[in-house]
Amino acid sequence: MTISYEYVEEIDSTNNELKRRAAEGKCQQYDVLSAGTQTGGRGRSGHTWSSPVGDSISTSMILFPKQVSPRHIPRITPMAAVAVAETIEELCGLSAGIKWPNDVLINKKKVCGILNELIPDDEGRPDHVVVGIGVNVHIREFDPAISDMATSLDLEIEALGRPANTHCGAITVGIWEHFAKHYEAFLHTEDLSEVVSYYNDRLVNKGQQVRVLDPISPFEGEALFMDETGALHIMTSDGERIVDSGEVSVRGLYGYI
């Protein structure tokens, strides 16, 4: 397993660039592209992901999981969240939480967003997957619309009375080394058995009342745990229900969580 790293100062989107390179046959498994800033960064569900110049990590890795069942590909998303949480805890000394399925939080505020994109081949099988990760590192101020739900690594480190000496390069490498290790295990099992215990220990939704924004039939209940398939189990007044991240979004009844 060899991870190849490349850095550029500015780009529209690291995800988009890796997809362009893959279309031209210019990518290999575990190629990583990072940028100092993105002009067209995106998050899950089409949301914009801001990338202030030099203040955040914008990084993507390309995978070629052609032997993996297409219905198992979404399991890569919580795996990436685990890799980010592990790196934050190890390199920054902060306690990280995960909001199902893929937001990484510190003190209940979002510090990282993840966007995975599957590109199929002509037969509908997975050709390549681009895993995009954005981490707020040096940001000091946020737009008022998100200031109560967003944070950065530096702000959280300094809140503990410690000087922030975070290094984007080291954090980027840490994330992808953890991720690649988990991905290698996933290729054998096609499930999240290697990371599910760690994930559930940090699942901030656990025990919380949530609303499942199913476009056909939204419902509410208590979030219980994520299983090895990446699905969230929720106890409702009618019994336990299971939701898949590819189908719905989950929101807390009393706020972001």
Q: What is the pLDDT of residues 11-32, one digit of tens each?
A: 999 999 999 999 999 999 999 9
Domain of residue 232 covers 209-252
Three-class SS state of 162? coil
Total structural domains within the chain: 2
Residue 257, domain member (yes or no): no
Is the domain of 92 the same as that of 124? Answer: yes
Is the domain of 138 the same as that of 165? Answer: yes
Q: Please choose, from the candidates 225, 226, 228, 227, the residue with its C-alpha nearest in 3D space to the C-alpha of residue 191.
A: 228
Residue 129, domain member (yes or no): yes
Is the domain of 52 the same as that of 30? Answer: yes
For residue 79, is pLDDT > 70? yes
Which residues are paired to 10 by β-bridges?
Answer: 37
The pTM of the whole model exceeds 0.75: yes
Residue type, 51: S
pLDDT confidence of 256, banded at 50, 70, 90? confident
- Higher pLDDT, residue 101 or 250: 101
How many angstroms separate the CA atoms of 151 and 248, rounded? 25
Percent of the chain with pLDDT over 70: 92
Residue 243, domain member (yes or no): yes
* 40 in Cβ contact with 13 (< 8 Å): yes
How many angstroms separate the CA atoms of 195 and 184, rounded? 12
Residue showing tokens 């929720």: 234
Q: What is the pLDDT of residues 103-144, one digit of tens each?
A: 999 999 999 999 999 998 887 777 999 999 999 999 999 988
Provide the pLDDT for residue 45.
Answer: 46
For residue 180, is pLDDT > 50? yes
For residue 44, is pLDDT > 70? no
